[in-house]
Amino acid sequence: MKFKSAFLMFIITIATVLTGCEPLLVLDPKGPQAERQARDIMLSIGIMSFIVIVVFAILIYVLIKYRASKQSPDYEPPHIEGNPWVEAICVGIPVIIVAYFSFVSVQSNYIVEATPKGYEDQEPLVIYASSSDWKWHFSYPEEDIETVNYLYIPTDRPIEFKLYSYGPITSFWIPQLGGQKYAMSDMVTTLHLAADEPGEMMGRNANFSGKGFAENMFNVTAMSQKDFDDWVDEVHETAEPLTEDEFDKLLEPGHLGQMTFTGTHLEFSPAPEHNHQSTETDSEQSHEGHTEGMEMNEDTSEHSGH
């Protein structure tokens, strides 16, 4: 009786606690990339649950069938050779499961790294998302706008994020739109996302980056293209321009609220890919100049010889 009462109280407690939990954001997708990942997560949970149930059923069967019994003191169990079928099943099934999960994971990685399905023919909105201690800066080069700690995006349009960091390595993550990806200080990584429906979402840094990591979050609002265009017009009418001095202050360690500027820091503090490109261009120009100089010297030598 006591066991039944304790078990009932345990079930009631678990049910009460779970009713206060919010749904997992990764299982509430608002875009094609997140939907693919949510489907893979549910597939993994289903297969692993089936495996756990089968293993526990076999365990219970073995414990009951081969439980200890009263035998004579001189009893000797019979010698049993290994069964090749049992050994093949014990080894083969895990290999098949791992191989299947590997196939699904590789296929999904290619899908989520590419432009979202159904958006291949549309021009993406390019947003440079950079992090600093402990803030997020979002630069819209086409719209000539920059925001801090919040992000506005249009629905039904591919979004191409260019990620990098002005401090330690961070990880850009909007759980309802897709998986996380690292932002580093010396290179730019690209993340393709899209929002299928309007609404508000949460984004954050998913990589520990110091004492301010817990509050290194940002708000995401998905809206129609018309509302997005209206917001762009409003920003140009009301926001102050972003200066280099102001941006240097924003990079100082600390937390800030949401801020909006016209112009972007890309004009005076370009992303690392721009620096790399300019370096490559300078090298190419230098190489071309060196080659031209050698050709001119050869021509001069030939004329001198004549």
Residues of the domain holding 234: 125-267
- Does residue 295 form part of some domain? no
Tell me the Ramachandran region of residue 128: left when phi exceeds 0, alpha when psi lies from -120 to 50, beta otherwise: beta
258, part of any domain: yes
End-to-end CA distance of the chain: 116
Domain assignment present for 71: no
Q: Note the pLDDT tens digit of each residue in 232-269.
A: 999 999 999 999 999 999 999 999 999 999 999 999 99
pLDDT in tens, 112-157: 999 998 899 999 999 999 999 999 999 999 999 999 999 999 999 9
* CATH number of the domain bearing residue 165: 2.60.40.420
Same domain, 88 and 171: no
Let me know whether 136 and 232 are in one domain.
yes
Residues 59 and 102 in one domain: yes
Q: What is the full DSSP assignment across 175-205?
A: TTT---EEE-SS--EEEEE--SS-EEEEEEE
**Same-domain check for residues 96 and 137:** no
Q: Is residue 257 part of a domain?
A: yes
> Among 69-73, 184-188, 228-232, 259-263, whose mean pLDDT is lowest?
69-73
Q: How many separate domains does the chain show?
A: 2
Same domain, 95 and 134: no
**Which residues lie closer than 8 Å to 268 by C-beta, 6 or more apart?**
244, 247
Is residue 129, in this structure, part of any structural domain at all? Answer: yes
- The length of the chain in residues reads 306
96 & 153 share domain: no
13 lies in some domain: no
Residues 129, 108 share a domain: no
Tokens found for residue 23:
């749904």
Question: Is 236 inside a domain boundary?
Answer: yes
